[in-house]
Structure 1
């Protein structure tokens, strides 16, 4: 299979995956957690296990049907997220929860909307700084066109993950930001490995060998490493998703989607995009020479 000659198919696949998520983001936005919107998070542990449905009924009876989520995080421990509650409302809720049995409060935190806005700003700033530093690093080590191709591939990964979370209304919190940054780091590492092999092959390029064939050979030379690496990570993430508890499930899911998307974009988007940039540069140079 010639990855570079099939690049338009890879671009079409990427667009088909990203477009539904983009439409959902524009129409419905993200299901922001209390880290961004403000609210209360209460973690309690009962002495004896209580059905999670009973906990939901008690919370709903307090007029909190719009609770942002009640999760069982192993054993008799429950994580309850609500809108921002006044002290009186908190006291009533905790008294009502006591009707299900004796419990211990493990965590009771309130996040104000000001903190949420600050977190949003810092998250965007962190993404911007990471992108700029990666562009500088790749430009110095390779060339600017490869830096642009790599950043577009990273944008692809971020949009895939964000789009999935928007489509399925999965909660976005501070852990999601950490997941996105982890995905970007993983994906750029895979892209750099391929770019490094391309650079090595460019130094020993055979006479008459086309750029498409050289890049395709470089991808094949690193393909086994890329697949083995992503599979190793995927096996661990799948185990964590099913066995790690509900509190980290969305975080693990984001990384799982991002790791798979990152492997795809590194192989099928970053290098083919660089080839298109180089071919476009050559065509522009030819037109100028003719002029």
Structure 2
């Protein structure tokens, strides 16, 4: 029985031609992401901002957000963020940090329960103090920086210089676009978001390594092949594997988005976006970047004749 092929076996699709569109598009999106990050900023969750977060579900399935906001602001606990979420009748309340320590935060929760308890079911209540939130910000920032540096060092030692530079550019591209996704969608940025970013970095690394390993192998086999043709051949050879990995991962994440519930919905959405971006980046950003870096001229001199003959 003939196996189903996800990509034609002898395909010669010209992926390098897409760089004329992918490079300007990614540059524009990356610049917009950085501008929005510096002006609008991330929607930090309670993990990083501190305070008290409550998610309520109306027992009747209907909610007047304006009335809830007016009532909550009348508590005297400062400015309150009130938003609808999820299904009909869902509303979230975010109170700022109160002076007076844990007892003051508990007073906010008790006041809300006494006021809204007859009309709403309390589905989620979280309280984070200022000291804990500051520690989480520091730990999260250090974790992201160290993880990204470790990945970049791995790429530098894993590949030759030109391949490593292209891999690093592709990974940084994926990080910038992922952060931009948080800014544009206003998804809450919390500790789970950091886990999503680090997972996306790992997925990006995996996609790039697969394509570049084949590129390096083909360079030793076809020593005089033009760079563009070599890169196209590398991507066409690995496209079946890329499609299989991306589709299976995306289907799993889509199931989490649709049926995973509020707890992991944001994480699953970011990861689903990350799979698309990482796949796009490996094909349309990292690989074409080797043309401008000058892969063929610099690498041809590095390959010993004995290895070329052995590969052939």
TM range (shorter): 0.7 to 0.9
Q: Deviations over 1:57-109 (max 9, x none)?
A: 446512177326564589x99865432353333221110122226x6x67643
The question of 1:174 aligning with 2:188 is answered no
Question: Contact 1:157 / 1:184 at 8 angstroms: preserved in 2?
Answer: yes
Q: 1:113 to 1:153 in 2, by over 3 A?
A: farther
Q: Deviations over 1:86-140 (max 9, x none)?
A: 3333221110122226x6x676432123322322222222222222222332233
Partner of 1:84: 97
Residue 209 of structure 1 aligns to a residue whose secondary structure is coil
The question of 1:144 aligning with 2:169 is answered no
Residue 219 of structure 1 aligns to a residue whose secondary structure is helix
Residue among 280, 291, 306 paired with 1:275: 291
Residue among 250, 265, 277 paired with 2:266: 250
Partner of 1:191: 208
* Deviation of 1:29 (Å): 1.0
- CA distance, structure 2, for counterparts of residue 280 and residue 217 of structure 1: 14
Partner of 1:39: 51
Q: 1:30 to 1:97 in 2, by over 3 A?
A: same
The question of 1:217 aligning with 2:233 is answered yes
- Total equivalences in the alignment: 277
Residue among 265, 269, 283 paired with 2:281: 265
Question: Contact 2:82 / 2:92 at 8 angstroms: preserved in 1?
Answer: no
Q: 1:94 to 1:229 in 2, by over 3 A?
A: same
Question: Contact 1:71 / 1:80 at 8 angstroms: preserved in 2?
Answer: no
Structure 2: runs of 5+ lacking an equivalent = 1-12, 99-103, 302-312
Question: Contact 1:154 / 1:187 at 8 angstroms: preserved in 2?
Answer: yes
TM-score normalized with structure 1 length = 0.82
CA RMSD, Structure 1 to Structure 2 (Å)? 3.0
- CA distance, structure 1, for counterparts of residue 183 and residue 143 of structure 2: 21
Residue among 99, 110, 115 paired with 1:96: 115
Question: Contact 1:33 / 1:68 at 8 angstroms: preserved in 2?
Answer: no
